[in-house]
Amino acid sequence: MNEPIRVAVSGAAGRMGRASIRAITREKDMILVGALGRSNGLGRDAGELAGVGPLGVAITGDLEGMLQGSHPHVLVDFAPGPAAVANGKQAILRGVRPVIGGTGMSEAEVEELSSLARERGVGAVVAPNFALGAVLMMTFARQAARFFPHVEIVELHHDKKRDAPSGTAIKTARLLARERKDVPQPMGKEEEVVPGARGGAVEGIRIHSIRLPGLIAHQEVIFGSPGQTLTIRHDSYSEESFMPGLLLAIRKVLTLDHLVVGIEPLLGL
């Protein structure tokens, strides 16, 4: 593609949306052509709101009008679950490739998007986490699960995150469940004195969610066996940690004719 990649951002007034705009405007092969947002940013210049100066792209609340008027190649979307699914469908139907970073999407919703993308021959990416370190953390944890079947996950996020557990934690648990050969039984009978004290479970793997101001996005996978433990941890200290993976997805989605989950396939993992 000789012309710049035309990118629209949904959630342009949010933390991830603003960080995405800053990252996109630094790239010579990309141009911001559209911005979608809610009431707190409507009508404002997306560049000014992101702190990069005016770009001549006003934030709108009309996705259809934005897609029709700005003709993006790629729609970056950080809306939560149902909104991301609806936006992704609308984009695919117009031949626009969605790169979705929102969490809270069910497997059925992802499959629905995947079927539509396959039917239309339109590339799409759904990634619970764009941080390269988080992807490696999941990759290393999968390797460890073959040898350490006893495992629990602790995920820590800022206090404005809506969903719990995080999409990354759910994906990690599913990956670990497929890798470990045996499902260990509890050593003794457990009794939760306070309901929920042992966290939730995804495919038999416990997940504990922490929400506090001051945090961004953190996860540790803790393995245990007699006489030893192994902890694999990743920490994101700012939204900038997600940008290299996001930019990779924006470029790679143009080469796809179907939906991929996670950026692992784009990295060859």
Active site residues: 157, 161
Scanning the structure block, which residue is given the tokens 């790169």?
Answer: 99
Closest alpha carbon to 175 in 151, 139, 134, 218: 139
CA distances from 75 to 22, 23, 31, 54, 97 (A): 15, 14, 12, 20, 6
Strand ranges (DSSP E) for 11-73? 30-36, 59-60
Q: 23 and 243 in contact (C-beta within 8 Å)?
A: yes
Distance CA 51, CA 75 (A): 21
DSSP for 193-214, written as a single string: SSTTTT-EEETTEEEEEEE-TT
Distance CA 130, CA 96 (A): 20
Q: 232 and 141 in contact (C-beta within 8 Å)?
A: yes
3-state secondary structure of 236: strand
What is the separation of C-alpha 204 from the centre of its chain, rounded to a whole number of angstroms? 23
